[in-house]
Amino acid sequence: MLSPLLLGLGLGLIAWSFVSPPRSRVSRPSPLTELLSEAGLAHVSSARLLLSCGALAGVVALAVYAMSESASIALALGGVTAPLPVTWVRHVQRRRQAELRQVWPDAIEHLASGIRAGLALPEAVGQISESGPEELRPPFAAFVAAYRSSARFSESLDILKRALSDPVGDRVVETLRMAREVGGTDLGRLLRTLATFLRDDARVRGELESRQSWTVNAARLAVAAPWVLLLLLGTRPAAVAAYNTAMGSIVLLFGALVSMIAYRLMIRIGRLPTETRVLR
């Protein structure tokens, strides 16, 4: 009696798995989309960034070919300069994160003072859009607009997190969300402790970056120097004839690969550890 019942239940579950609607999966943005968002360029799509890389490579290749009449030199210099827009976006991202690290302690202390003064949590968060640091006012203004239109604190925090796109901002947003859902009286003390930690971390990181800057600049100069020399050699007919051969093209291709790999290794070795966004 029990076996037919279990068999029928199993067959019913198998049939339900085929007819039930599939669960929607949350798609994560591409690495380039995340990079643009963290750089404060969320209005720029990854396709436009890739298109700018191709356009820059094409313009450089055409200019070099017009000057040297060497297709191999033009293609080599065009390929080397193609990643420059992505490199610039990475520079903007690191600079934005450094600026936010400097202003987050003041914003967090401002938030803690509002909570200590008896303001409601949405009001304490929203006042940063008016009296907080200038760099953080636009994202918090987006939070205020979202909360006024929907009165949903959690969804407004999601909008704030996307507008910030910052590791420290993720931590602060999730702390506020937990305080809203769970409650507690230690939120002000927790925020002040976090502000002190962030201020000490920013000071130490600033000292290390100032000492490291000359090493990074030297690495960039070491990578750029051979290609500037190649550009100058492209004006000499003897050098152009040598690079127009098959062996010359292989040398240029090998040099481009070595330069890109060496640059990535130098930057990775000399880069300070950065905080990743684990609370997206």
**3 state SS for 192-221:** HHHHHHHHHHHHHHHHHHHHHHHHHHHHHH
> 206 to each of 51, 142, 196, 272, how far by Cα in Å?
34, 30, 16, 11
CB under 8 Å to 277, separation ≥6 — which residues? 38, 165, 166, 167, 170
Give the largest CA-CA distance in the chain: 95
Report pLDDT for 70.
Answer: 85
The rounded distance, in Å, linking the Cα atoms of 68 and 80 is 17
Please check whether residue 27 lies inside any domain of the structure. no
Per-residue pLDDT of the chain (280 residues; tens, 9 = 90+): 444 444 454 545 555 544 444 444 445 678 888 888 888 888 888 899 999 999 999 999 999 888 888 888 888 888 888 889 998 998 898 889 888 888 998 888 888 888 888 888 888 888 898 888 888 999 999 999 999 998 888 899 999 988 888 888 888 888 888 887 776 567 778 888 888 888 888 888 877 777 777 777 777 788 888 888 888 888 888 888 888 888 888 888 888 888 888 887 877 776 766 666 655 6
Domain range for residue 227? 34-270
The rounded distance, in Å, linking the Cα atoms of 183 and 279 is 20
51 C-beta neighbours (distance < 10 Å), count = 12
> 163 to each of 41, 130, 133, 135, 146, how far by Cα in Å?
10, 16, 15, 12, 12
Please check whether residue 1 lies inside any domain of the structure. no
Report pLDDT for 144.
Answer: 92
Please check whether residue 65 lies inside any domain of the structure. yes
Report pLDDT for 27.
Answer: 57
CB under 8 Å to 70, separation ≥6 — which residues? 64, 234, 240, 243, 244
Please check whether residue 121 lies inside any domain of the structure. yes
Please check whether residue 7 lies inside any domain of the structure. no
Contact 120, 147 (CB under 8 A): no
Report pLDDT for 238.
Answer: 84
Report pLDDT for 52.
Answer: 93
Look at the chain and report how many structural domains it folds into: 1
Report pLDDT for 21.
Answer: 46
Report pLDDT for 189.
Answer: 81
Q: What is the pTM of this model?
A: 0.76
Report pLDDT for 279.
Answer: 58
How distant is the alpha carbon of residue 11 from its chain centre? 48
The rounded distance, in Å, linking the Cα atoms of 148 and 169 is 21
Measured in residues, the chain has a length of 280
Report pLDDT for 22.
Answer: 46
Report pLDDT for 25.
Answer: 46
Report pLDDT for 226.
Answer: 86
Report pLDDT for 13.
Answer: 52
Please check whether residue 192 lies inside any domain of the structure. yes
Report pLDDT for 23.
Answer: 45
Report pLDDT for 51.
Answer: 93
Return the ∠ at Cα 247 (arms to 241 and 248), rounded to 5°.
Answer: 45
Please check whether residue 2 lies inside any domain of the structure. no
Please check whether residue 16 lies inside any domain of the structure. no
